[in-house]
Chain A
Amino acid sequence: SQKIEQNSEALNIQEGKTATLTCNYTNYSPAYLQWYRQDPGRGPVFLLLIRENEKEKRKERLKVTFDTTLKQSLFHITASQPADSATYLCAALNDYKLSFGAGTTVTVRA
């Protein structure tokens, strides 16, 4: 069956460092991968989308890569800040339907 896996439940890093999150998918080839941020008690908030023919996408301090050979997306937060502490969700978009990973909770220590 189709599966999206985020291989870390939690990531603790020092302020100023780069956080790197991994998302792997199996048994299908999504046309798009998306990354969302979710804060406690809130719904997911869209951050970035990357298409299967794109290798890399950037937005401010965020960078996403998409490797269709490895079936993997990496999400980087550079120069991390305590305000970046949240759960980050990877989601595959095929047609109109999102399939989410379980999420990685990032905690940035001041």
Chain B
Amino acid sequence: EAGVTQFPSHSVIEKGQTVTLRCDPISGHDNLYWYRRVMGKEIKFLLHFVKESKQDESGMPNNRFLAERTGGTYSTLKVQPAELEDSGVYFCASSQDYSADTQYFGPGTRLTVL
């Protein structure tokens, strides 16, 4: 069974540009999460989808971040315009049960904003 996949693995962009990160969850997992780790800090929750619906986006830092999950399958996280403080590693995770006993994480996308 394929795990959670994320694309790209690395992205380097200039401040003010737009970047779109993609996450493909494990097939059949209704729950999809985005987390991120900025330099020197712990991994923090960004948002949670159940199928195509945003269940909780309380961790999204500001309105420069937009997450979508078309058709309840893969998800994208767009940052527009990117700022220096957006640099970090963005992780996607998925789980089968709403109680979220086990979340399976992807390898992450390392974003560098110059």
Q: Is the CB of A101 within 8 A of B45?
A: no
The one of A41, A42, A45, A100 that contacts B42, using a Cβ cutoff of 8 Å: A100
Contacts of A41 in B (CB 8 A): 107-108
The yes or no answer to A93 lying at the interface (CB within 8 A) is yes
Instruction: Report A21-60 CB contacts with B as 1/0, cut-off 8 Å.
Output: 0000000000010001000011111100100000000000
Q: Is the CB of A44 within 8 A of B45?
A: no
Q: Is the CB of A49 within 8 A of B101?
A: yes
The yes or no answer to B12 lying at the interface (CB within 8 A) is no
CB-CB contacts below 8 Å: B84-100 with A: 91, 93, 95, 98-100
Instruction: Report B33-60 CB contacts with A as 1/0, cut-off 8 Å.
Output: 1010000011111001000000110000
Q: In the assembly, what is the distance between CA of A89 and CA of B52, in Å?
A: 29
Q: Is the CB of B42 within 8 A of A46?
A: no
Q: Is the CB of B101 within 8 A of A44?
A: no
Which residue of A is nearest B35, CB measured? A98
Contacts of A89 in B (CB 8 A): 43
Which residue of B is nearest A94, CB measured? B100
The yes or no answer to B25 lying at the interface (CB within 8 A) is no
Contacts of B27 in A (CB 8 A): none
Q: Is the CB of A97 within 8 A of B4?
A: no
Write the residues of chain A forming the contact surface with B, with a CB cutoff of 8 angstroms.
4, 32, 36, 41-46, 49, 89, 93, 95-103
Known A46-B102, A97-B100; 5 more pairs at CB < 8 Å:
A41-B108, A46-B104, A96-B95, A96-B99, A97-B56
